[in-house]
A and B are shown apart, each in its own frame.
Chain A
Amino acid sequence: MRRPLLDIEGLSAQNAAGQPVLRRVSLMMGPGEVHGLVGQSGAGKTSIAKASLGILPRAVTLTSGSIRFDGLELAGADKSTLDTLLGADIALIPQDPLTALNPSRRIGAQLTDALRLKAGLSRQAALAKAASLLEEVHLTDTVRILRAYPHELSGGMRQRVLIASAFALNPRLIIADEPTSALDVTVQKQILRLIRRLQRDHETAVLFVTHDLGVVAQICDDVTVLFAGAVVEQTTVQSLFSQPVHAYTRALIAANPRYDQPGASLRPISEEVIEATLKGISA
C-alpha cells in the first residue's frame, strides 16, 4: 500500500464517567479512497470522525493511540497545527444541514469563510469562486442563493451548499458525518451521487460515517464495522456483502430492510449476537 493519508492506530477514548467510547480502533485510508465507518448508534463512528477533526466534545478524552494525517500526528496536536490543516487539507461535511449553517448569516458569507480565511481571497474573488462551487453542486441561480439565508433553502439545497463548502479548498480528506441521514430518500440518492462524483473529480479521500449499509454499498471502497467502540470487521465493500466474517456484521446486513421482499418483518440483531460480540471485544 502507498503511504496512508489517514492512519488511525490503537485509538482509545473514554467519556467523563470513565466508560470506553473507543477501544483500540485502527483504520487506514489511502489518498482518494472512500472508507465507510458503519455501526449502530453509540458505536463510536462520530467520535472517530470528531477526533480526526479535533472537535471531540469536552466530556470525551483520548486515552491512547494516534491519528496521523499524511504522517502528521493529530491526536493531541496543538491548535495552530490543527488550524492550518483544517479547512484546507481536511474538511467536514456535517450531519444535519438544518443546524450546520448559521441561521443569521447569508450563504455567501458562510461559503466564502474558508476561501477568505485560508486562501486569502478578496471578498469579490471569494464570491466568484463560491458561485462556481455552487454550480459544481448543481445549484443554479447562484446569485439568489449566495444572498439567501439558510432558512430560505430546502434541506437538500443546504446539504449541497455544505458539500460545496467542504470541497472549496480542494482538501485531501473529507470527513462526512452521516451527511444524508437528515434527508429524505430521494434527495439522499442525489447527494450520494454528488459526493461520489466530486470525490472522483477532485481525487479526495472521504471518511464516510453512516449507519446505513445501503449507503456504504453505493459509495465506499472499504468498510470498518464498529460495535461498542471497537472494530468488529474491516474489509472491502465487495467482501463485506459477499462473505461477511463476523456474526455481528452478518446480523447487521440481515437487519437491513429488503425492498424485494415487501411485507417481510424486520430482523433486529439478536441479543445473543450482541452479547457474543461484546464478549469478543472485552476479551
Chain B
Amino acid sequence: MADLVHAPLPGTFSRILREPRAVVGGLFILFLIFCAIFAPLIAPHDPLEQDLLLEKIPPAWQNGSEAGHLLGTDGLGRDLLSRLIHGAQVSMIVAFVAGTLACLLGTILGLLAGFFGGWVDTVISRLVDIWMSFPPVLLSILLVAVLGSGLHSVIVAIVVIDWTRFCRVVRTETMAQTKLEYVDSAVTLGMPRARILIREILPNVLPVILVLLSLEMGIAVIVEAILSFVGLSVSTDTPTWGGMIAEGRQVIYQAWWVLVFPLVALFLTVLAFNQLGDGLRNALDPALRR
C-alpha cells in the first residue's frame, strides 16, 4: 500500500528526461508533429501531383531512381516522401484529438465509479463490461459505416470504443487511492466531495492516466490506418498512411517501396508512442522507482 502513495512529485519532469525511452519516443513524436504542421513547407512535392511518366520510380539508392524523389513514387507517379509527410497530419490529429477525448471520457467515468462506488460504480462497470465484449475493429468499422466516412467519424469511433481502457484502470486506481487515509482525513475536515476527488485524488491518479494516454495515441494511429486501409477514413484525396498501404498492396510485386515506407512510418510512430508510454511509466511509477 505504501507504494501507492508516492505519486507525482516535484522533479517529475527531470525524472522523465532521464528516461531514454521517453526522450527518444517523445522526440520522434515531436518530429512528427513538426512534419504535420509544416507539411506544405517541408514536402518537396505536392502530395497529390500525378506524373504518369514518373510512376513507380524506386527510392534514390536504387537503380533507375530519379533526382528529387528521395523515396521514389507510387503507381500514379506521386512523390512518396511528400505523401508520407502529409499523411502525418491525419495520424497526429487522430492520435491527439481522439486519444485526448477518449481519455477525458474514460477518466471522468472511472473517477466517479472508483470514488463513489455503490450503484454509480455498478452502472459504469457493467457498461464497460458490455462495451468491451464487442470486437473493437468490427465495431469501429460498423460505427464509421453508420456515421459516414471522414475524419470526424474516425475520431468519434475511436473515442466511443477506447474510453473503456481509461475507465477500467482509472476506476481501480481511484478505488485504491480512496481507501488511503489521506482521503479520510480530508473527509473529516468536512471538505466537499467534488474537491476531494479533483484536488486530492486526481493528482495521484494522473501518472497512470498519462501513461495510458500515450499508449492510446499509438492505438488511435493504428485504428485510423485500418479504417483508411478499408477506405472508411478521410477521402482519398487526403494522403493517409493507411490509404498508402492499401495502394501499395496493389503494386507490391512491381514497387515494394510504395507499401513498405508507409508501413515503416506507421510502425515507428506506434513504437514511439509505446516507448514514450513505457518511459513515462518508469519515470512515474512509484513501485519501480523505489
Contact = CB atoms under 8 A, between A and B. Distances in A.
Contacts of B5: 98-99, 103
Contacts of A228: none
Interface string B1-22: 1101111111000000000000
Interface in B189-247: 189-191, 199-200, 203-204
A100 B185 contact: yes
Contacts of A118: 189-190
Nearest to A115: B189
B118 interface: yes
Given A92-B184, A149-B10, A113 B189 contact: yes
A249 interface: no
A87 B9 contact: no
Interface stretch (A78-86, A219-227, A229-237): A78-86
B188 interface: yes
B8 to A, nearest CB: 5
Contacts of B186: 102, 113
A58 interface: yes
Given A99-B1, A104-B8, A53 B188 contact: yes
A118 B189 CA distance: 8
Contacts of A92: 184-185, 188
Contacts of A53: 184, 187-188
B203 A105 contact: yes
A87 B189 contact: yes
A98 B2 contact: yes
Given A86-B190, A99-B2, A104-B204, A58 B184 contact: no
A151 B2 CA distance: 11
B195 to A, nearest CB: 9
B134 interface: no
A75 interface: no
A47 interface: no
B181 A99 contact: yes
A58 B186 CA distance: 17
Report which residue of B9, B185, B203 has the largest number of chain A beta carbons within 10 angstroms of its beta carbon. B185
A91 B188 contact: yes
Contact of A55 (B7, B182, B187, B204): B187
B191 A117 contact: yes
Contacts of B204: 102-104
A136 B2 CA distance: 28
Interface string A135-172: 00000000000000101000000000010010000000
B191 A113 contact: yes
Given A82-B190, A87-B189, A94 B181 contact: yes
Given A98-B2, A149-B9, A117 B185 contact: no
Interface in A93-150: 94-96, 98-105, 113-114, 117-118, 149
A86 B9 contact: no
A78 to B, nearest CB: 13
Nearest to B206: A104
Contacts of B185: 92, 94, 100-101, 162, 165
Contacts of A58: 117-118
Contacts of B200: 102, 105
A97 to B, nearest CB: 9
A165 B189 CA distance: 10
19 contacts: A50-B184, A55-B188, A58-B118, A86-B188, A87-B189, A88-B190, A90-B188, A94-B181, A98-B2, A99-B1, A99-B2, A100-B180, A101-B182, A101-B185, A103-B6, A103-B9, A105-B200, A113-B186, A113-B191
Interface of B: 1-2, 4-10, 117-118, 180-182, 184-191, 199-200, 203-204
Nearest 8 Cβ contacts at the A-B interface: A83-B190, A100-B181, A87-B189, A104-B203, A94-B181, A99-B180, A102-B182, A92-B188
Given A87-B190, A102-B182, A103-B9, 16 more contacts: A53-B184, A84-B190, A86-B187, A90-B188, A94-B181, A96-B181, A100-B180, A100-B185, A101-B185, A103-B204, A104-B7, A104-B9, A113-B186, A114-B189, A117-B191, A149-B9
